[in-house]
Amino acid sequence: MRAFLLFALFCLPTLASAGDRPTNVVLIVSDDQGYHDLGCFGATDVQTPNLDRLASQGVRLTNFYVAWNACTPSRAAFLTGRYPQRNGTYDMIRNDRVDDGHLYSPDEYAVSPERILGTDVREVFLANALHDAGYSCGCYGKWDGGQLKRYLPLQRGFDSFYGFCNTGIDYFTHERYGVPSMFADNQPTTQDRGTYCTTLFRDHAIEFIDRNHDKPFFLYVPFNAPHGASNLDPEIRGSVQASPEYLAKYPAGTDKHSERRRGYMAAVTEMDAAIGAILKRLEKYRIEDNTLVIFFSDNGGSGIANNEPLQGKKSTMWEGGNRVPCVVRWPGHIPAGKVNQQFLSSLEVFPTVCAATESALPKGVIYDGFDMLPVLQGTISSPRTEMFWQRRSDVAARVGDWKWIDSKRAKGLYFLPDDIGEKNDLSAKHPEKVEEMKRLLAEWKSKMEVAEPRGPFRDY
């Protein structure tokens, strides 16, 4: 019996005490997920048991915004802790000719904007700060920060990377409109072609935990689910792909829209299962109590998503474009099963992670967010009182409880506590508030214009 016990103990995973080392961080980001499309945010038609359990163990943030209403600038903002207008990535990095069905030849693609542009190399990424603090850093999923070697994750502080670097791919071929797009570290790869990409990102994330569970780590898992498939085939393009196992969990649609909604829901549930497997791996090594987990969507839901009770969707200045679901769990530090309605944003992620890991914020860098842990703990009100958005000529501002929009598809002044759906334009009733919003937006734009210039779009 004694020999058996010794053998059993020898075969157990190596376990590290939470007090022995710094806090781990797992940052999980979904792609174009609707505000309402989680059970913990009110959905009854979408199955998300693992995210619901995460919310029950942590805090659900219902008043949480991203810094841009589509993927590339939004991701650059939370990974640098800086507004898109400050870090330089204030528009999409994509080839627009695919919108007309154009198939890029290899030579043509090699010099296209999507291939050669990226977030300025002078920007300090969250992984840079954590790597300097002694963390092992892994990224598995949608990078979307540039494809040239100097822009890839391994040059941004990560030790390991598997994923793609543009804005979207086919979930099975891993091609973006016919162009192979998957990378392993710094090298393009087609080795796993045919395997559903959510599965690949899950497996790489789990392997990273297996390799690093006994040391401090930062695991970034930016899923591309439930983004539409980037395929030139009109029957696939715009749909959300899922494996047959998860499609079978939902009834077949009766028309094109409902069938595409079915694929979207199946992809969300498959992503949720992948998240559950990642969280279970933390439990295997008994490090879940020493791990800060943050989940949110990179921007508002797409056309087949459900953003209720918000108006609008991805790419708009309505709440449905910029307000996203967010869940944070850190046992023993953040209360469980709570709802936080404080005004917060993805710009807070960088300073919050540095605070949780006791890593120093890089010197000489202006950040547009703050450590939100005291807000999540309920000890202070959110210091955030305003936020601004600009996408070319479209602009919006939130100041206190007021929201003002001036864009092609949305305009008006709204008082959010009474009108979260932005139905009642109060511009005529409160012209002085409109003028205040315009003034504050102009002041913000002036601050961004005098910031040290960054590429890839700015002229300097």
In the prediction, which pLDDT does 238 show? Answer: 85
User: How many domains does the chain divide into?
Assistant: 1
DSSP string, 226-257: TSPP--SSTTTTT-----HHHHTTSPPPSSHH
Give SS3 for 191.
Answer: coil
Residue 264 lies in a domain: yes
C-alpha span between 37 and 108 (Å, rounded): 39
Strand partners for 395: 390, 406
Going by the DSSP 8-state scheme, the letter that residue 297 receives in this structure is: E
Which residues have a Cβ under 8 Å from the Cβ of 399 and sit 6 or more positions away?
385, 386, 436, 437, 440
CA distance 166 to 342: 33
- Tell me if 436 is assigned to some domain: no
Q: What is the pLDDT of residue 19?
A: 57
In this predicted structure, what is the pLDDT of residue 15?
A: 39
Q: What is the residue-level pLDDT of the chain in tens, covering all 460 positions?
A: 333 333 333 344 433 445 578 999 999 999 999 999 999 999 999 999 999 999 999 999 999 999 999 999 999 999 999 999 999 999 999 999 999 999 999 999 999 999 999 999 999 999 999 999 999 999 999 999 999 999 999 999 999 999 999 999 999 999 999 999 999 999 999 999 999 999 999 999 999 999 999 999 999 999 999 999 999 999 999 899 999 999 999 999 999 999 999 999 999 999 999 999 999 999 999 999 999 999 999 999 999 999 999 999 999 999 999 999 999 999 999 999 999 999 999 999 999 999 999 999 999 999 999 999 999 999 999 999 999 999 999 999 999 999 999 999 999 999 999 999 999 999 999 999 999 999 999 999 999 999 999 999 999 9
Q: Strands, DSSP E only, in 144-226?
A: 160-164, 175-176, 179-180, 182-184, 187-188, 217-222
Q: Is 99 a domain residue? A: yes
Q: How far apart are the first and last CA of the chain?
A: 74
> Domain for residue 399, yes or no?
no
* pLDDT score recorded for residue 442: 98
Range of the domain at 307: 18-385
CATH number at 98 reads 3.40.720.10
